[in-house]
């Protein structure tokens, strides 16, 4: 559907915004008549300067269209666009259509909970899916108020951007909303479990599927407390009241992103309602996500980027404010250290690849190309640069500028230029001398990070700019210096290619606290010293900084895998145990172990078992150590023993049971029957995802054939099940999957016929043969990106090829002994 439509070009958006002013939308949806489709009647009132334009519409079928009372021929609809000729002055367009429920996390997504058979629906319009729900002028700078009327099954609750009430059974009427961009209009409908609260005059609510109601109840107080603390802090910092009335936080199934900042009705992926026990890292991730979406209510929703080229600023601002507010006013005062593990390498690696781009000023000629640059550079690098800017300007100027921006463009749109103008005026008014133009050109308009390294022989810090993106940037950061057994912290300013640093030291860790934006690479002596020193470091920020230094070295083939394993064996980073592919543990086991000397996995397993003994029973560190021990295990008897009786302090919940079952399956110790029986005993969304991953990881031809049918789309699974299958596919003996390496490249282009958007690109990445570290696989990857691929697929595969090239460089530089 979306592959059949034309992405909106920037020049088209500019022309349409110059022609039209939207008065309001009236949208009438019937969600009760079918499980496949829904009725959608949209009335758009707008004024025009008169002349031809088009409305965006991606329906299943159209019943009737009228413009100013005259019929419009639905047959003129092509590639998602309906041409119309507007009158000068007031116009009214009415579109009666049938729209598709989708199952890929975009548009109006409908899914059935395997636990109890109940169906749930939510809207995700970002970034160009609104026309699959209602007819609209789909661009961020044509804002208008919306009035929704919804017919739903009688046992459903319906929530939208504005407050709504059920006027008769199954009939819901919503208040007229504030002016909204099309991309954040939403609707959340189903037999949801609801919890209500209130804070400072703002009605608050939470919702989840009924089958996880008890888990939402358990954490409701934590979630409401976080929300209240963040509201107070945002009100204090911004001095502008939250402008959208109610604040609902909906946890929804099969959601692609972490969350979406729809004004008044934020949607979160529902694994953030914890049905199994989680580590502190996961709670921090949820808290920063809550705060991030709240920051967007001002930056993004109240004032919205005029065009997609400023989307980075939207995310950078929310990311910086979300982390800052979480660390400052909630129980998670260690949020920055966790973010360092979770996000830093996402941005640094993206910024070192051939596909890097400047943070700002990418042009983004159309919506689809804008999405390709929506990456670790937008979130992680952009927020690091804003943090530097806030530190340089000082809080008074930083927030005075932001408030000026919110006030000038309230309920409207603005650009980066507007915001930086507000900051320049605020700085001038406060008498703060700061060269914003130089800052912008060095950090936001020039791509690539500098490399920083310490030369112990010359006692200098070397700064190297990327050769493809020359720059002359200064860096101010802290360095951690180990002398004997004593760590001290030193402030350093680097303004040239070599900066003297005269210290007596056996280890120097540059920029461990993420003060600047650079790839800091440890020298050989520091790496050796860390083997003994890391275990006694208790400062979470410094530990995260050490691992980021090691990962930056790995990315540049500047550290021996044997040394990384020695350090990890001495001090596993079990405080960082979440499974997001960007974090440290998946890197350690997925990238380092395969290139390290034989026996590395076994040594890390023993280290995890020792950790399990050392840490207090019942603690989250114990859970982390246990999960690492399961991840690295290969003994059937041990895994079976844990399945029957876990260590004291641990209870086997759904998550742990499936981690163990998956490990048994991967090693050939669990049958398909055993896996299906475990699912049937406890059917749930997350269990089904685990089941599909485990089924694919069984080391036999039948399982790999099943996994392949998921990749090609022959077996149709929801988004997260596809990812689980992809991540499990390449496990097991290489001879089982060797034949699929070539098939991946020949069959990849056709996957675009079965999937689109987010899930298409994610599947391409998840199934990439990253374990095949050979010149042939690299050449095949380089060749396939030359084909006419979906842009999302091309970006993921080029980045995967870049990773492969870097793995090859490690393999060549440090041959396996």
In the bound complex, what is the minimum distance in angstroms from residue 320's beta carbon to Zn ion? 11
Are 481 and 503 in contact by the 8 Å Cβ rule? The answer is yes
Q: Which stretch binds Zn ion (CB under 5 A): 316-324, 365-373, 519-527, 691-699?
A: 316-324
What count of Cα atoms within 13 Å lies in the side-chain half-sphere of residue 417? Answer: 4
Q: Which stretch binds Zn ion (CB under 5 A): 309-317, 402-410, 451-459, 686-694?
A: 309-317
Mark residues 239-258: x for contact with Zn ion by CB under 5 A, - for none: --------------------
Give the rounded distance of the alpha carbon of 754 from its chain centre: 23
In the bound complex, what is the minimum distance in angstroms from residue 258's beta carbon to Zn ion? 8
In this complex, which beta carbon is closest to Zn ion, that of residue 318 or of residue 339?
318
Q: CB neighbours (10 Å) of residue 146?
A: 24
In the bound complex, what is the minimum distance in angstroms from residue 327's beta carbon to Zn ion? 18
User: What residue spans of 435-523 are helical by DSSP H?
Assistant: 436-439
In the bound complex, what is the minimum distance in angstroms from residue 719's beta carbon to Zn ion? 19
**By CB under 5 A, is residue 291 in contact with Zn ion?**
no
In this complex, which beta carbon is closest to Zn ion, that of residue 360 or of residue 588?
360
In sequence order, the 6+-apart residues with CB closer than 8 A to the CB of 535 are 570, 571
In this complex, which beta carbon is closest to Zn ion, that of residue 312 or of residue 729?
312
In the bound complex, what is the minimum distance in angstroms from residue 349's beta carbon to Zn ion? 20
In this complex, which beta carbon is closest to Zn ion, that of residue 205 or of residue 383?
383
DSSP 1-37: -GGGSPPPBHHHHHHHHHHEEEEEEEEEEE-SS-SSE
* Site of tokens 């690696």: 349
**By CB under 5 A, is residue 325 in contact with Zn ion?**
no
Pairing of strands 498-500, 460-464: antiparallel
In this complex, which beta carbon is closest to Zn ion, that of residue 185 or of residue 460?
185
**By CB under 5 A, is residue 266 in contact with Zn ion?**
no
In this complex, which beta carbon is closest to Zn ion, that of residue 170 or of residue 258?
258
In the bound complex, what is the minimum distance in angstroms from residue 195's beta carbon to Zn ion? 24
Which residues lie across from 9 on neighbouring strands?
A: 366
In sequence order, the 6+-apart residues with CB closer than 8 A to the CB of 438 are none
Q: Which stretch binds Zn ion (CB under 5 A): 152-160, 307-315, 351-359, 636-644?
A: 307-315
In this complex, which beta carbon is closest to Zn ion, that of residue 315 or of residue 666?
315
The residue of the chain with the least Cβ separation from Zn ion equals 318
In this complex, which beta carbon is closest to Zn ion, that of residue 292 or of residue 755?
292
In this complex, which beta carbon is closest to Zn ion, that of residue 142 or of residue 266?
266
DSSP 299: B
Handedness of CA 203, 207, 213, 215 (dihedral sign): negative
In this complex, which beta carbon is closest to Zn ion, that of residue 318 or of residue 370?
318
Q: Which stretch binds Zn ion (CB under 5 A): 69-77, 318-326, 512-520, 551-559?
A: 318-326
Total of residues contacting Zn ion (CB under 5 A): 2
DSSP 442-466: IIISS-S-EEEEEETTTTEEEEE--
Q: Which stretch binds Zn ion (CB under 5 A): 314-322, 343-351, 423-431, 515-523?
A: 314-322
Cis peptide bond upstream of 626, omega within 30:
no
Q: Which two tokens stand for residue 531?
A: 């083997």
Q: Which stretch binds Zn ion (CB under 5 A): 204-212, 232-240, 315-323, 532-540?
A: 315-323
Q: b or e along 395-414 (b: 16 or more beta carbons within 10 Å of the residue's beta carbon)?
A: eebbbbbbbbbbeebeeebb
**Helix (H), strand (E) at residue 43:** strand 37-56
In the bound complex, what is the minimum distance in angstroms from residue 414's beta carbon to Zn ion? 17
DSSP 705-737: HHHHHHHHTSS---HHHHHHHHHHHT-S-HHHH
The correct pick among 8, 252, 318, 510 for binding Zn ion (CB under 5 A) is 318
Mark residues 327-366: x for contact with Zn ion by CB under 5 A, - for none: ----------------------------------------
In this complex, which beta carbon is closest to Zn ion, that of residue 297 or of residue 591?
297
DSSP 177: P
**Helix (H), strand (E) at residue 287:** helix 280-298
* Site of tokens 């399990």: 612
In this complex, which beta carbon is closest to Zn ion, that of residue 96 or of residue 375?
375
Mark residues 136-175: x for contact with Zn ion by CB under 5 A, - for none: ----------------------------------------
In the bound complex, what is the minimum distance in angstroms from residue 627's beta carbon to Zn ion? 28
Q: Which stretch binds Zn ion (CB under 5 A): 283-291, 312-320, 405-413, 776-784?
A: 312-320
In sequence order, the 6+-apart residues with CB closer than 8 A to the CB of 751 are 711, 712, 713, 760, 763, 764, 793
Long-range contacts of 780-788 (CB under 8 A, 24+ apart): 780/741, 780/742, 780/745, 781/745, 783/745, 784/745, 784/748, 784/749, 787/749, 788/749
Handedness of CA 675, 676, 677, 680 (dihedral sign): positive
In the bound complex, what is the minimum distance in angstroms from residue 296's beta carbon to Zn ion? 5
DSSP 572: -
In the bound complex, what is the minimum distance in angstroms from residue 300's beta carbon to Zn ion? 7
Mark residues 1-40: x for contact with Zn ion by CB under 5 A, - for none: ----------------------------------------
Mark residues 498-527: x for contact with Zn ion by CB under 5 A, - for none: ------------------------------
Q: Which stretch binds Zn ion (CB under 5 A): 144-152, 310-318, 328-336, 457-465?
A: 310-318
In the bound complex, what is the minimum distance in angstroms from residue 45's beta carbon to Zn ion? 31
In the bound complex, what is the minimum distance in angstroms from residue 292's beta carbon to Zn ion? 6
In the bound complex, what is the minimum distance in angstroms from residue 306's beta carbon to Zn ion? 17
Per-residue 3-state assignment (H helix, E strand, C coil) for 730-762: CCCCHHHHHHHHHHHHHHCHHHHHCCCHHHHHH
**Applying CB under 5 A, which residues contact Zn ion?**
315, 318
């Amino acid at each position: 559907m979306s592959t059949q439509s034309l992405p909106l070009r920037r020049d088209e958006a500019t022309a349409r915004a110059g022609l039209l002013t939207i008065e309001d939308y009236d949208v009438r949806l019937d969600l009760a008549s079918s499980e496949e489709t829904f009725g959608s009647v949209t009335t758009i009132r707008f004024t025009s300067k008169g002349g031809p334009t088009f409305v965006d519409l991606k329906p299943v079928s159209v019943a009737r269209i009228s413009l100013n009372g005259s019929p419009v021929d639905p047959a003129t609809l092509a590639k998602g666009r309906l041409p119309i000729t507007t009158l000068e002055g007031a116009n009214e367009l009415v579109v009666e259509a049938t729209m598709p429920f989708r199952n890929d996390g975009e548009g109006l997504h409908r899914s059935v909970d395997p636990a109890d058979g109940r169906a749930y629906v939510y809207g995700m319009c970002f970034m160009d899916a609104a026309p699959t729900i209602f007819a609209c002028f789909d661009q961020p700078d044509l804002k208008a108020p919306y009035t929704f009327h919804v017919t739903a099954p009688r046992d459903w609750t319906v929530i939208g951007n504005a407050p709504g009430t059920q006027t008769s059974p199954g009939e819901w009427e919503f208040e007229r909303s504030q002016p909204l961009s099309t991309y954040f209009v939403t609707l959340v409908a189903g037999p949801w479990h609801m919890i209500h609260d209130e804070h400072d005059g703002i009605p608050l609510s939470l919702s989840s599927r009924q089958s996880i109601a008890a888990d939402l109840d358990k954490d409701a107080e934590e979630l409401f407390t976080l929300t209240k603390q963040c509201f107070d802090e945002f009100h204090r910092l911004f001095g502008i009241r939250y402008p959208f009335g109610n604040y609902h936080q909906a946890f929804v199934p099969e959601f692609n992103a972490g969350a979406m900042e729809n004004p008044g009705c934020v949607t979160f992926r529902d694994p953030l309602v914890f049905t199994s026990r989680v580590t502190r890292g996961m709670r921090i991730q949820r808290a920063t996500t809550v705060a991030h979406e709240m920051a967007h209510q001002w930056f993004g929703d109240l004032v919205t980027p005029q065009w997609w080229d400023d989307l980075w600023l939207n995310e950078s601002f929310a990311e910086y404010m979300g982390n800052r507010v979480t660390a400052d006013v909630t129980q998670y005062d260690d949020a920055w250290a966790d973010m360092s593990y979770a996000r830093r390498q996402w941005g640094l690696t993206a910024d070192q690849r051939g596909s890097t781009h400047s943070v700002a000023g990418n042009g983004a000629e159309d919506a689809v190309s804008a999405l390709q640059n929506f990456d670790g550079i937008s979130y992680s690098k952009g927020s690091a640069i804003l943090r530097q800017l806030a530190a340089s300007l000082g809080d008074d100027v930083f927030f005075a500028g932001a408030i000026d921006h919110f006030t000038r463009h309230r309920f409207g749109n603005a650009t980066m230029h507007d915001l930086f103008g507000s900051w320049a005026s605020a700085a001038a008014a406060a008498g703060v001398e700061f060269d914003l133009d130089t800052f912008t050109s060095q950090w936001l308009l020039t791509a690539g990070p500098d490399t920083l390294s310490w030369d112990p022989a010359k006692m200098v810090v070397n700064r190297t700019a990327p050769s493809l993106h020359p720059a002359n940037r200064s860096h101010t950061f802290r360095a951690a210096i180990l002398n004997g057994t004593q760590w001290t912290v030193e402030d350093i300013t680097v303004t040239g290619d070599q900066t003297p640093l005269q210290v007596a030291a056996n280890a120097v860790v540059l920029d461990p606290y993420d003060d600047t934006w650079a790839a800091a690479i440890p020298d050989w002596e520091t790496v050796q010293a860390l083997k003994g020193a890391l275990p006694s470091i208790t400062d979470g920020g410094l530990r995260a900084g050490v691992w980021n230094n090691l990962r930056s070295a790995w990315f540049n083939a500047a550290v021996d895998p044997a040394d990384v394993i020695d350090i990890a064996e001495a001090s596993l980073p079990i405080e960082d145990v979440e499974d997001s592919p960007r974090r440290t543990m998946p890197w350690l086991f997925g990238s380092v172990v395969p290139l390290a000397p034989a026996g590395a996995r076994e040594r890390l397993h023993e280290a995890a078992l020792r950790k399990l003994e050392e840490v207090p029973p019942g603690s989250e560190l114990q859970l982390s150590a246990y999960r690492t021990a399961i991840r690295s295990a290969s003994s059937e008897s041990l895994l079976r023993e844990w399945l029957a009786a876990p260590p004291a302090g641990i209870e086997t919940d759904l998550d742990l049971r499936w981690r163990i079952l998956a490990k048994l399956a991967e090693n050939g110790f669990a049958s398909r029957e055993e896996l299906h029986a475990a699912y049937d005993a406890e059917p749930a969304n997350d269990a089904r995802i685990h089941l599909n991953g485990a089924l694919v990881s069984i080391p036999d031809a039948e399982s790999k054939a099943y996994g392949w049918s998921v990749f090609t789309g022959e077996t149709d699974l929801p988004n997260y099940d596809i990812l689980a299958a992809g991540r499990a596919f390449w496990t097991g003996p290489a001879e089982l999957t060797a034949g699929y390496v070539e098939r991946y490249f020949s069959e990849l282009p056709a996957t675009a016929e079965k999937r689109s958007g987010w899930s298409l690109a994610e599947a391409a990445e998840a199934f990439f043969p990253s374990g095949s570290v050979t010149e042939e696989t690299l050449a095949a990857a380089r060749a396939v990106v030359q084909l006419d691929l979906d842009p999302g697929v091309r970006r993921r595969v080029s980045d995967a090829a870049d990773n492969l090239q870097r793995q090859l460089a490690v393999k060549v530089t440090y041959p396996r002994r």
